[in-house]
Amino acid sequence: MSIIIESDLCTGCGQCLEVCLFDALELVGDKVAVKDGCNLCGACVAVCEYGALSLPEDETPALSRPSHGIWIFAEQRRGRLSPVALELLGEGRRLAEALKIPLAAVLLGHQVRDLVPELMAAGADTVYLVDHPSLAQFLEEPYAAALTALARLHPPEIILAGATYVGRAFIPRVAAVLDTGLTADCTAFDIDPEKNLLLQTRPAFGGNIMATILTPRSYPQMATVRPRVMKKLPPDNGRQGNIIEIDLADLSRPFRSRFLETVSEITETVPLGEAEVIVAGGRGLQEAKQFRLLEELADLLGGAVGATRAAVDAGWISYQHQIGQTGKTVAPKLYIACGISGAAQHLVGMQSSDYIIAINQDPQAPIFQIADLGLVGNVFDILPALIQQIKANR
């Protein structure tokens, strides 16, 4: 299945080759031809001035929409909700209103009923509660079994989950078994008003390009969502909702994996994810010991130290500090980027920060494109001067 080419109309101008993300077009003689790998994204159709390209007609019949609304997975651990659960309810509320359908939270765990009011206050119309000893600790098998069974019982139109380690570990199992698509790590959603479909946007190609993805021929439409990107609603304790508690017989079967113990908790002085100020360093710091400057400044500002993949790969600082596509996503009030060029892989992890200050020697560095305040200069000169100023003024 691929793009349809009207060879008579094709002038061989090559415009379409330039825009094909999948490198699926080639010129054969003076006409364009499709190779393997066409994803039907339609980018070429849009640029063809001669109308030589078109998308094949959608031959799948429209499915009827399931009736149980939008679900968000309310991730919790030991009776505490993960912040992403509330963020998903905030975003879910917006989407539910656009689609005029209800919003539900799915709460899986053991002895977690207390969390129901918090979910309702955060925007849930309904809470599906599965309370079972098998769900006391996270394991892929029982969690996937529970969510799959629920979705078969009360088919939803959309399922959103946090793109946390937990969410990304088990949600794909659910999508596989439900025969439906899943988009990873989304950073924005919208609704296609004609088809009432969820437009799922995520960074692609290492984060240098954003891609919008549809799940056009199956329900539920599923996505995991990057934490700290969506906004939660102010809690409304007056909100009312239904609680539907479900006893799944399936959970009493023996599972082939079992939880033994938590070996170690990640401890950070100020956890990166929760820091209001982050001072981050990149390749421009040149060596491990320069991170001490950053630590000193972060301490003075009550913040945490972050780093780019380049700095982590160079061994200057541990992976726990990595921010970006393959590290953490952060959204502090203030982000100070020191010696960071601004590779897209890093930007996706910090561009939701409220205020970004960048210090870099190269005025052309891409980091300046997204910085609110950019300082062109040497980090090793500017930071000590700043540290001195702060100390002098305390």
Partner 1 sequence: MKIIVCVKQVPETQDVRLDPVTHNLLREGVKSIINPFDLYALEEGLRIREQQGGTVTVLTMGPPQAEAALREALTYGADQGILLSDRAFAGADTWATAFTLAAAVRKLGGADVIFCGKQAIDGDTAQVGPELAAFLDIPQVAWARKLTFVGPERLQVERLLDHGYDLVEVQLPALITVVKEINEPRLPSFKAKLKAKAATIPVYSLSDLGLTENQVGLKGSFTRVVRVFPPPARGQREILQGAPEELAAALWGRLQQMHLR
Is residue 189 a contact point for partner 1 (CB under 8 A)?
no
Q: For partner 1, give the closer residue by CB, 37 or 133.
A: 37
Does residue 183 bind partner 1 (CB under 8 A)?
yes
With CB under 8 A, what is the number of residues at the site for partner 1? 113
Instruction: Please state the φ and ψ torsions of residue 87, each to the nearest 5 degrees.
Output: -60, -40
Toward partner 1, which CB reaches closer, 176 or 288? Answer: 176
Using CB under 8 A, which residues numbered 129 to 168 contact partner 1?
Answer: 137-141, 144, 164-166, 168
- Beta-strand relationship, 182-186 and 221-225: parallel
Q: What single letter denotes the amino acid at residue 136?
A: A
* Helical segments of 48-158, H only: 83-99, 116-121, 140-153
The answer to whether 345 contacts partner 1 (rule: CB under 8 A) is yes
Judged by CB under 8 A, the chain residues 18 through 77 that form the site for partner 1 are 18-23, 36-43, 77
Query: Which residues 250-279 are close enough to bind partner 1 by CB under 8 A?
Result: 255-266, 277
**Which has the closest alpha carbon to 72: 129, 146, 124?**
124
The amino acid present at 127, given as its one-letter code, is V
Nearest approach, Cβ of 241 to partner 1 (angstroms)? 26
Among 204, 236, 245, 252, binds partner 1 (CB under 8 A): 204
Of 183 and 308, which CB lies nearer to partner 1 in the complex structure? 183
The answer to whether 40 touches 26, Cβ cutoff 8 Å, is no
Backbone angles phi, psi at 72, to 5 degrees: -120, 145
Q: Is 357 in the site for partner 1 (CB under 8 A)?
A: yes
- d(Cα 198, Cα 221) in Å, to the nearest integer? 7
Restricting to residues 1-20, which ones interact with partner 1 according to CB under 8 A?
1-2, 18-20
Query: From the CB of 290, what's the least distance to partner 1, in Å?
Result: 15
31: alpha, beta or left? (left if phi > 0; alpha if psi -120 to 50): beta
Whether 87 contacts 122, CB under 8 Å: no
Site for partner 1 in 277-296 (CB under 8 A): 277
